[in-house]
Amino acid sequence: MVAKAVKATDRSTNGLRHALFEELDALRGGKTTAQKASAMARLAAGILSASKLDIEYQRFVKSDHEAGSVKKTATPSVPSLQLVKN
């Protein structure tokens, strides 16, 4: 059996939306399982959660810079999160 090449998902909100609708279409067409679609939805929720965290962090840094309470750096970095298995 030859593995089918999978195109990388565009890493943007539009790319995520497109991937989710493709998964929905595949589910409705019987080309995927509810379990796979559910896993895709959980991944999307995690991506959105991380994006929201990034936005909040940037707002926090911006408001602190405007208040003068944080030293200015060339580009504020967003600390990375490490996922821990339960």
Residue 83 lies in a domain: no
Cβ-contact 26, 32 below 8 angstroms: yes
Domain range enclosing 58: 13-67
Total domains in the chain come to 1
pLDDT score, position 69:
61
Structure tokens at 76: 């504020």
Could you tell me the sign of the dihedral formed by the alpha carbons of 50, 54, 55, 60, in that order? positive
Residue 75 lies in a domain: no
Residue 72 lies in a domain: no
Residue 85 lies in a domain: no
More confident residue, 2 or 83: 2
Cβ-contact 57, 78 below 8 angstroms: yes
Residue 36 lies in a domain: yes
Mean local confidence (pLDDT), 54-64: 87
| Residue 82 scores a pLDDT above 70 | no
Q: Cα separation of 28 and 39, whole Å?
A: 16
pTM here is 0.62
For 34-45, write each residue's pLDDT tens digit: 999 999 999 999
Residue 41 lies in a domain: yes
Q: Cα separation of 28 and 42, whole Å?
A: 18
